Chains A and B, each alone.
Chain A
């Protein structure tokens, strides 16, 4: 089972790398999808550069979401911060329910075209899973463990960083993984406001009625999402190896 997963992972990585480094060698595969001699492989930009910009945008936005959501999650699970729970919940829920396209439309007049509106949309979209998981993780620390930590003489701060956060870490990472994967897909929308990313390929395909572009943009995005999901899951497993609650 593990070997099969490893083989699949390597295959996906090799496929993605091959496609981004030597896209023209895949031309015969996509050629049947084109009409009237249109190019089978996206030729208006470097695919590798677009993919890297895409991942970069996602990682920056998700990192910002993680910092804010984890901080909020910690705040609302403290005794003094409990009153901020309703407002924090409202903020992250709005971030998730407000359509990213609408966020883009609203952000462009404020910050202009390019990466910035996309970063804002992804940041808002990624808050909820991380916030909720942080909160659940911190709240599910066993009462006896917390009591022992305080009883040993840990200050609230020491208890938080030495006991609570490490114990909540598997769930926090899971939230980050969810946000990252969702954002890899959502980031394609950024290309409508001129952010660099694989969305550019899909949109170019839609505009020129070229199914090959749409498909290769979609497949590359999907493969990236899968590989990122896998990579974060690997980190999670490393962390979980020691964090087991019996």
Chain B
């Protein structure tokens, strides 16, 4: 658990982060979203002390992060950034081994960890371990960046616009991979983005920042249904908030008993996807099936639409 308490950072007369307090739950993805200049990156960088706060403190599992040398703290915290920042003079395996190496792990342990991570990120170790960053595609570089950040089994992974440099299709895949990695390694992830879609897609909880202040910090559906102020409502998208809400619920969660003569949809599909499918086919209801194809019940357009309303 990360407790951020009254963090403030000023550069000259500008307050970049203004008295922000929040609690980040263990084993979850928290997304900090805001426009550029909102202070979201600075807030993130105060967690691993790449930026030293003016006042306030950060506690990780109850321990004040200010009480140990910054570079030792950072070895316990994964860090992945936009444009990956891979070391161009080191191979993929050496890049991933950076922190374990700094921590003085046994070579055999480092090797097996590197192999495990490459496999987890769908990069064949036999092919990629010896390659250099410039020989990889953008998506592969990004994955190696994530692997490197996870190498020393950090309790916390900080990500600063990690998918910002990727094209939409690869970004989609990278986001799926991240959700998968979070489940697999049970890491606490704090991710900064300016992309509200990305925030809603990834975040168990989303923090909205503007001009250094934390406007609202809650589950995505609460942000949509009960925005704290007009700024949050505008940022989370006034015009399509109903669709965003539908995107947050899966067919499996909304399914009601009964059968339909409509098409079958996967229980993992979002209500938004199911609705689109129904519009496209010109039918009123669908059968929800689980991963094995067994029927779970049905969804009608009326049921779906009800989920897109605030109450």
Contact = CB atoms under 8 A, between A and B. Distances in A.
B132 A147 contact: no
Interface in B61-79: 71-77, 79
B48 interface: yes
B167 to A, nearest CB: 17
A149 B76 CA distance: 14
A90 interface: no
Interface in A110-165: 142, 144-155, 158, 163
Given A150-B74, A151-B50, A246-B88, A144 B102 contact: no
B89 A147 contact: no
Nearest to A167: B89
A244 B91 CA distance: 11
Size bracket of the B interface: 20 to 34
Given A153-B102, A158-B102, A244-B132, A145 B73 contact: no
Binding site secondary structure of chain B: mixed
A243 B134 CA distance: 10
Contacts of A147: 50, 81, 85
Contacts, number: 76
Given A166-B89, A167-B89, A243-B89, A153 B83 contact: no
Nearest to A145: B85
Band of interface residues on A = 20 to 34
Interface string A202-246: 000000000000000000000000000000000000000011111
A208 to B, nearest CB: 54
Given A155-B71, A244-B134, A246-B133, A149 B87 contact: yes
B160 to A, nearest CB: 9
Contacts of B71: 150, 153-155, 158
Contact of A167 (B50, B85, B88): B88
B79 A152 contact: yes
A150 B184 CA distance: 27
Given A152-B98, A152-B102, A153-B102, A144 B88 contact: no
A141 to B, nearest CB: 9
Contacts of B99: 152-153
Contact of B84 (A144, A153, A166, A242): A144
Interface of B: 48, 50, 71-77, 79, 81-90, 98-99, 102, 132-134, 145, 148, 158
Interface of A: 142, 144-155, 158, 163, 166-167, 242-246
14 contacts: A144-B82, A145-B85, A147-B81, A148-B79, A148-B85, A151-B74, A154-B71, A154-B98, A154-B102, A244-B89, A245-B134, A246-B88, A246-B133, A246-B134
